[in-house]
Every structure is written in C-alpha cells, then in structure tokens.
Amino acid sequence: MIGLNSAGRIVTRIAPATGSFHPGDVSAAPEGIFVSDSQNGAIYELAKTGYSLSSLVKSGVGKSGQGTAIDAEGKRLIVADYSQGVGAIDLASGVRTLLPRQDGKPLRGIDGLVRCGSVYYGIYNGSSPGTLVAMTPGENGLTFDQPLGETTLPDPTQIAYDGKRLLIVADSGWATIEKPDFKRPSGAPIVAVSLSEDCKPQ
C-alpha cells in the first residue's frame, strides 16, 4: 500500500511484516484506514503510527477481500468478500460475521463498497452485466436491492461517494486485461448517480 501527498508523490510504502500481500481496495475513515487482500481474503488496518498494518481478518479466513466501509458509529467495518459474501467485523472484538441476504444466501460478487448514511452501495460484477446494489446490514443479515432497476453496467469495478453522488467506474476493461491485442479506444466511463439527503438515488 502506498501513501501519496497532495502533489501526487509517493511518500510511503507499507506492507505487512510477514507473508505475501496483494493489496486491493482501500477505505479511510476517522477510525482508521483499511485495506483488503483480494487473493487470500485478509483485511488489514493501518496502525495509529502510520507505519505498519495489523490484520483484522487473517489470511485464509476469507477468500477474496474487496471493498470495505465503516458504519456510522465507527464500531463495525462492513466487508465484501467476493467469494464468501458480505460480512461485518466488530472492531472492538475483531469478530467477523457473514451477513446473508433476505433469502439466507450469501451476497457474493460484490467488488467496490461505500456508505451513505445507513445505506451501503456496492458494485456487483459476479456475472455480466453488472449493476449497482444497495444494502442495509443488520446484526445477523442484510437486505439488498438494485436501486437503478433494470439499468446494467457492462464491466463495473469501483465506486466512490463524494458527499453528493456515487461515482462508478462503469466499464473498466477488466475482462480484456489479459488480451494483449486488445486496444481500448477511450478511457473508462464514470457514471454519476446523484443521492438525496436521505441517501436515495435521484
């Protein structure tokens, strides 16, 4: 994991003290900075010193760590594991609980993840085409829906929230990354979804 200054220059590089490290999604909150490992499921927290990473979820417990987002109270970290589903980590105890969806099945295939109010928005790309999902986690499960209805996205990966809008990398080209002859004619489009004050798409 790297740290950049306001000029875009790399000022630090941080990795766990032992083991292989495949950093993917990063989220930041007053409670800390969190980074996931897409290849072994580990979730790390940047220590208060800013120079080391401690594991919240150890390597091998999860399968493919993706997006993370802290809850409004700063007590639980909601985590998307691509293969196992969405879960919650109690930051006080370190206990991870998988949160099944309404029908009791895990919500797999979630990549990027952000929070607005009590609603978590994630990118589903477990099959093509992908879509935006909205999730409301409870203590032992979650409810979810597709706030854009039938609107789909060809190859979505990441999502950000700027305080007013969701910004989605809607056609990343990930499916063609290993095709050496493929040439992209333009950059990845960014889809903006405006949110109301109560965090509902407008």
Span 43-74, pLDDT tens digits: 999 977 777 899 999 999 999 999 999 999 99
Per domain, the residue ranges of the chain are 2-194
Look over the chain and give the mean of its residue pLDDT values, rounded to a whole number. 92
2-194, CATH topology level: Neuraminidase (2.120.10)
Those residues whose C-beta lies under 8 Å from the C-beta of residue 58, and which sit 6 or more positions away, are 42
Those residues whose C-beta lies under 8 Å from the C-beta of residue 84, and which sit 6 or more positions away, are 41, 62, 63, 64, 98, 106, 108
The 3 state secondary structure assigned to 34-52 is EEEECCCCCEEEECCCCCC
Span 9-46, pLDDT tens digits: 999 899 888 778 999 899 999 889 999 999 999 999 99
Distance (Å, rounded) from C-alpha 62 to C-alpha 84?
A: 7
Q: Which residue has the tokens 């993917």?
A: 24
Q: Say whether 178 sits in a helix, a strand or coil.
A: coil
Task: Return the pLDDT at 179.
Answer: 77
Those residues whose C-beta lies under 8 Å from the C-beta of residue 74, and which sit 6 or more positions away, are 29, 30, 31, 91
Span 126-177, pLDDT tens digits: 998 999 999 999 999 999 999 998 888 988 999 999 999 999 999 888 777 7
pLDDT classification of 178: cutoffs 50, 70, 90:
confident
